[in-house]
Structure 1
């Protein structure tokens, strides 16, 4: 088990380095002078020169990366070109809305998608199975922004159950916060739910055909115990894997959904930074999201030990 965990931790190191190189090169892939692109069309030569000196753009590319990566290792993501505030400070200020939204989405997805997939596998080829699969195909096919606008029109404008846009801070009350993120969380859940439900169904269909599930039924165990104790635990590896993969989809959905519902989270920060061509903020947020994904996938790999005892040895 220690060897397995150590190998997964070591495997994350080159991934972090590759991501850092890719993010760093983004500002150099666009044609033209990066300093001029950052400064904008109306910038003076003095302003362009200041940006070039500030970002070490006169140095060789390898030297630039050395300066930038050494700052990253010190948790210094640089300063915003336009606000002149540290990028880490900007991310920290926007972290709460994104964290609440993603956490609520993951909880809703697990408690809705996994039971739906189990039921679809249990009642395979039935009306329930077909209905769940139709909903999952629709959820995965319809764009997130379209689902968001539809939910906003029905539940906010017509029924008035939720606010149209905005975010209520946790300091102002948990219920107000949950009410403000309910619609965007439900919007992303429909996309994430479709993926998890389909994989859960496929994994459970295979597990339910195994001999030990038939033995559990023959011993007189209830159908609930057979499904949710014996079968679901053995299907945990592919389900946890797809949840980890789905978090990448979730992050991209957060960027779109926060813009649609005007939530001041990190996704909205990314959109604003791209619009303003604020490359330090774009690079910093991409590094932040990449590290989050690497950590999540590492935790998913480590969770395999809980579902499959053979991995411990």
Structure 2
């Protein structure tokens, strides 16, 4: 297994950019440092950003909500303790899943499944906040909320490319927010309408607004993945400046999605060496793998 031996390109502008990110958003700066490879966060970067901010914001909102009532304040610490204990219990299994069960090539269907799981989790949590705002099964909803957040971590694993040798990324023209598209407008209007209704009827609208924003981002990404006619397999790179090495951007192979090939503008003008997603064979592909310090 090879390792990157290139010296870091720590230019003044790079250090300045990282420092500004740290000042503006310490959480995101910390996450980008914790993820060992730059390419772990490269595809669906906005989804990674929204997921972690939504988890922290929602958990903090939950503690604030249950702490407002002296009769239910115990639910916050009770639920949080349960949440922490479950995380401690499932973390070893999550690591095993990443090490042993994670395919060497990221699968588009797994990514789509992960997005649908995250969207479902978001709306269940959203429903819990609405129910709690009307004191409907308050204690039950409080526990379901945190349990659903825990389940969202498993859905998040499906969109992560940690542990893979090749990860997928959508072509520039099929990126989630590339240009103004009809489905983006419709999803945006729907989430805005729900936000307006929530603002009018629920006192927990700040937490719900973060959930709706996350749902919007996840929906757009899920739509793009489900209907993309092709995607690109790339090898991992440890640092951002390594993306300029050959092959450029780490591109190894173009893959056509058979069910969506009819949506291509010119199905006959596919890149040389492309493969079909249902007959993908990586045995003849040449790519580098890098040993992770995590394993």
Q: Same fold (TM over 0.5)?
A: no
Taking structure 1 as the reference length, what is the TM-score of the superposition? 0.23
Instruction: Report which of the two has the higher share of helix.
Output: 1
- Structure with more of its chain in strand, by fraction: 2
The TM-score, its normalising length taken from structure 2, stands at 0.24
